[in-house]
């Protein structure tokens, strides 16, 4: 279970590596949600980028909160 806890957020932390190497290119081949949001900020679409951040926050919270509660509960039951 601890490997699941450590490995699950890895795709969300890959922005810096992808952006420094390819800037999301060629085309949109290596875009991740964070690079799409960043490009929206760069383009001046602040409302769209903020909405993307809110959706990303809700999505991550919806995934992490139940998983965290489940993993913490199973540790106590042991």
pLDDT means per 10 residues, the chain with 78 residues, are: 54 67 71 82 92 91 88 65
Q: What is the pLDDT of residue 36?
A: 83
Q: What is the pLDDT of residue 32?
A: 77
Round to whole Å and give the CA distance between 53 and 14. 16
Q: What is the pLDDT of residue 46?
A: 94
Least Cα distance to 52 among 6, 15, 10, 8 occurs for 15
Q: What is the pLDDT of residue 35?
A: 80
User: 29 CB contacts (<8 Å, ≥6 apart)?
Assistant: 22
Q: What is the pLDDT of residue 72?
A: 81
User: 71 CB contacts (<8 Å, ≥6 apart)?
Assistant: 1, 4, 5
Q: What is the pLDDT of residue 38?
A: 85
């Amino acid at each position: 279970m601890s490997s699941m806890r450590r490995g699950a957020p890895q795709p969300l932390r890959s922005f810096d590596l992808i952006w420094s190497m390819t800037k999301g290119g060629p085309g949109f081949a290596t875009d991740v949600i964070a690079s799409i949001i960043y490009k929206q900020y760069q383009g001046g679409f602040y409302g769209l980028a903020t909405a993307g951040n809110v959706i990303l926050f809700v999505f991550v919270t919806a995934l992490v909160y139940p998983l965290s509660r489940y993993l913490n509960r199973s540790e106590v039951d042991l």
